[in-house]
Amino acid sequence: MISRLLDRFFAWYADAFLRHRYVFLAAMLVGVGTLAAFLPKLRFDNSPESFFLREDPTLERYQQFQKLFGSDEYALVVFERRDPWDSQFIEQLRTLTDRLAQVPDVLEATSIANVRHLVGQDDQLIVEEFIPPEIKDPAEISAKRKAAQEHPYYSNMYVSADGTFLGIVLKTRIRWGEIDYKIDLTKRVRALLAEEPYRGWSPRVVGSPILDADVREIMSRESGTFCVLVLVLMSAVFYIVFRSWLAVVLPVSVALLSVVCALGLMGLTGAPFTMVSAIIPSFLISTGVGPSIFLLSAFFNDVHAGRSPREAVAEALRHSASSSLLSMVTTAAGLFAFSTSKIRPIEELGRTMGTALFISFSITLVLVPFVLAGRKRIAASEKRQEMLQGRVQGLRRWAEGVMRYRRIIIAAFCLFVVAGISGASQLRSDYHYLGVFKTSTPLRQDYDYVERALKTSTSVEVVIDTGRPDGVKDPALLQAMLGLERILAERFPDMGAKAYSVADLTSEINQSLSGGSPEAYAIPATAKGVAENLLLYQLSGDDELSNLVSSDFRYARIRVSVAHRPDRENQKIFAVIDQYAQEHMGPSVGSPTVLVTGLLHLWAAIDDYLAQTEIEALLITALAVALVMIAVFRSVLLGLLVAALNASAVLGTLGLMGFAGIWLDPYTILIASFALGILDDDSIHFVRDIQRRYLEHGDLREAIIGASSSAGQGIFYLSAALACGFATYAFSTVASLSKFGLLIAFTILLGAIMEFVFGPTVLLAIGEPLFKRTRLRDPAQGLATTAHVLPGPGPSAGETAVNDRKEASKQ
């Protein structure tokens, strides 16, 4: 029913289009131009909060933390200094620190030269620079270096434990939803570090603003690069298939206009361009050209069967557009399935790309017929005819060979499914934001250098809510906080866990007021003693306390500096914090509420959503694909069978991921649903061709062989083009994007194997009753002839069927 309705609609459309093709073209250009006008509004946003829906509780907790304690974004400059420190070096370091503090959007810059140092004098607390400018004596500077290495706050923050590396910490401003200021900040910092004498120190700079700026640069560069690569590959494939530059220019034009519309649509809807959005141009170029290929194929068939270009356009629209639309529906279903994701970039990606695919199909229905209908004639070529016949005969011989060994192939298929299930059961989700990038990239190398030097490069934030003003001044609570810090340092030395809080500051104040005795580094015994120490610190004029407690001393913060690791390792830290809070922060310390937040906690929440998104999207896609198949083939069992065959190809890829230990991340999570939607495009054309042939002569074996040699050409070349297009991502500096491209390419090749090897044998083995039920009583009302992908001239659909029967009678 649906197929017949679509065929009638496109028959009407073909007539209306040929009468008013300039009107249709004008309407298309207006639509494309309208969306293109919103391109300047497209913005890039890769900030952590951009990954979450606005009402997400994890994001709300993080934003509340920032309201209490301000910015938690830092940049860290690290360099090596093995030579003894001298007054000249310290002065150069001080000058660099001061200049970095003057960079726009840097709130403060701190190094070992100007970091605060507490000195107790006559019941007063003096806060001064750790190395005052007046210190010039090499012996004093050497003593300062040794003291810094042993200081609980300075060590592995401003100087490494062995004294060979130094760090400058830059606290930076946060501007929600903006990225350009981070790019400018990064350029200014790196330009400053490139000056002498700092350049000779070989400094590295890392941190949230630097990372976001570098990701923006990588995504911008690679989006354009891979877009060009895919266009070149597609163009080469189209020319090989059709031997016509017209057949190259038209699909490429459709693809480029589709990309413009997709990006304009993002500008219109306010969806930001994120790290995941980098796949949009290449994906649309790869998948959006399918309708163009089948439309061109049908056109060339009809032209070389003797029809004029205008007649060929009308026939091509009637015969291929409905199958292409149904194929597009399955692909779009795989994309729209991600609209339910709690990961915002994934949600927006699915919605944008699903809509863009239909826009691409609409452009195809106007631009390609418009150009083709304007041609007076299409030149014939004997060479093309010879190439066509060779391909037809080669695919036919292949299909016959598959039929001869069908029992072995079916057994292999069963083993393949079992292996796929086994591997897929081992699939797990894990997210490592820094691990998204290859270790060979400068970005990763900088982080590796910093973590070797100072052990850490990011942090986990712990917020303690006492529930009452001045609750933080409770000595028992401060002792519990120090206990948590010690536990974390002991349990996670490989991650360089180093915690700092108001409990540490209070202990240091007490030590300074007690003459610097190491034994005095402790929490005062009474709340009054704690309050007096903190008051003295506030009166000193230093504002560090505002970063550690709320203004009413109800909330306290523990900053746990750690190295970047995958989420499965971060989860262990969260678990230890939760367990410690339950066991040691009960009624005896006022039963405070202990919450974990910060950037790493945000990424951990993304990991939780990955598996949920994968399951939801795959179920939605599978359901949509099955429904379309059932409607197209007018058989519940046949539709489910074909959908299951394609699902087995996806299962094979998931199995490979499971066996290879490839985790689900924001890129690889897209593979299953994307691939399932793409693979069904070929299946619709292939099985409809089998139905048509079976309707004509009632021989299922011959129908499958005939479809393999005709529609099989389109499947082969389109699969090759798509696989090559996605495989270009292997050259990306983003490791997850490389995995995504290669695994999608692998899945497409598995899908082709399904169509050419497993599918025909399974359909022949159990499909006869199913195809019998779908045979139509009146061929005139039957399924439209499926377009064959041919490189130029070739036999008409009817001639192909006759040739198939002749070949069968010879055997």
Q: Which CATH number does the domain housing residue 692 bear?
A: 1.20.1640.10
456 and 507 within one domain: yes
Helix axes 671-697, 309-336, angle to 10 degrees: 140
Q: Is there a domain that residue 736 lies in?
A: yes
Residue 505 sits at φ, ψ, to 5 deg, of -65, -40
140 and 226 within one domain: no
Q: Is there a domain that residue 65 lies in?
A: no
Q: Is there a domain that residue 206 lies in?
A: yes
Domain limits for position 245 = 2-49+214-425+604-810
230 and 207 within one domain: no
Q: What is the pLDDT of residue 386?
A: 65
Q: What is the pLDDT of residue 379?
A: 59
Q: How far apart are CA 269 and CA 271, in angstroms?
A: 6
Query: Where among 547, 571, 597 does a domain terminate?
Result: 597
95 and 153 within one domain: yes
pLDDT digits (tens, 9 = 90+) for 604-657: 777 777 777 878 888 888 888 888 888 888 888 888 998 899 899 999 999 999
462 and 407 within one domain: no
pLDDT digits (tens, 9 = 90+) for 17-72: 999 999 999 999 999 999 999 999 988 877 767 777 667 888 889 889 988 998 88
Q: Is there a domain that residue 512 lies in?
A: yes
Q: Is there a domain that residue 13 lies in?
A: yes
Q: Residue 162's closest CA among 248, 51, 82? A: 82
Residues 6+ apart with CB under 8 A from 664: 427, 428, 429, 430, 610, 611, 614, 657
Q: Which two tokens stand for residue 90?
A: 């310290």
787 and 729 within one domain: yes
Q: Is there a domain that residue 57 lies in?
A: no
Q: What is the pLDDT of residue 790?
A: 41
**Can you tell me whether residue 738 is helix, strand or coil?**
helix
Count the Cβ atoms, other than its own, within 10 Å of residue 388. Answer: 23
Query: What Rg value do the Cα atoms of the chain yield, rounded?
Result: 33
219 and 97 within one domain: no
723 and 805 within one domain: yes
Q: Is there a domain that residue 518 lies in?
A: yes
Residues with pLDDT less than 50, the chain: 776-811
Q: Is there a domain that residue 285 lies in?
A: yes
- Distances from the Cα of 88 to the Cα of 79, 202, 374, 515, angstroms: 16, 18, 78, 30
Q: Residue 808's closest CA among 696, 690, 703? A: 703
134: CATH: 3.30.70
239 and 143 within one domain: no
Q: How far apart are CA 706 and CA 788, in angstroms?
A: 11
Q: What is the pLDDT of residue 222?
A: 82
* Cis ω before 197 (30° cut-off from 0): yes
> Looking at the whole model, is its pTM more than 0.85?
no
563 and 617 within one domain: no
In DSSP terms, 127 is beta-bridged to 118
Q: What is the pLDDT of residue 462?
A: 96
625 and 753 within one domain: yes
119 and 134 within one domain: yes
In DSSP terms, 460 is beta-bridged to 560
Domain count of the fold of the chain: 3
Query: Where among 154, 183, 213 does a domain terminate?
Result: 213
Query: Where among 571, 597, 623 does a domain terminate?
Result: 597
Per-residue burial over 389-398, b if 16 or more Cβ lie within 10 Å, else e, is eebbeebbeb
Locus of tokens 């989420």: 567
